[in-house]
Amino acid sequence: MAGALLLAAPGVAAAEQGPDVSSWQHTNGTLINWFQVRGAGQQFAMVKATEGLNYVNPYFVQDSLLMRAAGVARGTYHYADPSLPAVAQAAFYSAVVLGQNGPLDLPPVIDFENAAGQSPAQLIGWLHQYLDTVQALTGRQPIIYTYPNFWRNAMANTTQFANYPLWIASYNGQNNPGPLPGGWTNWTFWQYTDSGRLPGVSGPVDLNSYSGAQGPFAQYARAGITGYGS
């Protein structure tokens, strides 16, 4: 699918769509044109905010401001390093994003795909601590981003987190992400390709769909705009 202009996952064209971005989508310092992204039918985007205990995406503030100006709902995510303290990472992320409760704000997201040499029991305990802290600091239930093989192997396919919204990565070319791990019965967001193309974004970009599992998208994103979303 590399090089194609992908605006919707196969079979879910009516669903809300959006990319997820980090510093990699800012080749040579190029800004993302969020007005073009919105004009291409993308209603939301997930933006990397932080990683570990000391990395802040240098384009996070720019993207956050320009997304809001363009009317693109914003999700933000922390790339987890389970070898470092969970509570400290949760506090670091929450301080950088300064809340997730404004207009066009989706709930906080944790990108959980790196075991960092930890056992399943250690990872499970770490994730509980992180999620509890972020929810206390932001007031919203976090979304878990992961992929099936990681969850089934590194997390021993635990079902302890099945009550959290799931953002699943699965590049299978099908109309749905396939069997879900961890006792989840539905997905909230699906990252269906890592090689999409969008107007306003230089180079390949991950693309995602919203399932409607958390209700109307406008409500989930706190849009407050008549006619926004479904």
Q: Mind telling me the catalytic residues?
A: 20, 111, 113
On whether the CB atoms of residues 112 and 153 are closer than 8 A, the answer is: no
Cα distances (angstroms) measured from residue 96 to each of 93, 99, 165: 5, 8, 22
79-108 in b/e form (b: 16+ CB < 10 A) is bbbbeeebeebbbbbbebbeebeeebbbbb
Q: Strand pairing of 109-111 and 166-169?
A: unpaired
Residue 27: phi, psi to the nearest 5?
A: -55, 125
Q: How many CA atoms lie within 13 A of 187 on its CB side?
A: 23
